Homo-oligomer: A and B are copies of this chain.
Amino acid sequence: MSQGHRHEEGCCGEGSGDRIEAAVLRMKEKAMRVTSPRLVMLKVLAAAKHPLSAEQLHEAAGDDKLDLVTIYRSLGAMDDAGIVQRHPLERGRSLYALVTPGHHHHHVICRRCGRIDRLPGCDTSRLEAAARTKGYAELTHIMEIYGICPACTQSNHA
């Protein structure tokens, strides 16, 4: 089911308290209600060192404290509000991370163990400009790099 997701270095966390406050502020701006399930979610997300799946968030929150459905719905609302960034990936799964404005970035994901590492920056501006030229508006993008991580390359049970 849930894969390894081991992690060596920091990835998405940047300092949690402020980020939660910022998220709450944004929720209020958007007329969203600040409920305890959502606060729990924010806490977990702020503490996460890499993007989390709804399922992982569910487990991290205590599994029976929050309904998975609530997580999906709130994640959706937070995505719309720009509070979390959704990373759709292969096989229909998505991962979610707290947005830190000015820290847009992407990840490498190990195809074998699920480990995730952060990569600096993002080079989509040229492509988005091209899309704009074609008349497209409200552009967003998804991008993930896949590979085999060092550890899995070693222990070559392929």
Contact = CB atoms under 8 A, between A and B. Distances in A.
A49 to B, nearest CB: 15
A92 interface: yes
A8 to B, nearest CB: 9
Nearest to A142: B144
Interface residues of A, number: 40
Main secondary structure of the interface of A (DSSP, over half): mixed
A138 B147 contact: yes
A126 B119 CA distance: 10
Contacts of A111: 138
A119 B123 contact: no
A128 interface: yes
A148 B119 contact: no
Interface of A: 88-93, 106, 108, 110-111, 117, 119-124, 126-128, 130-131, 134-150, 153
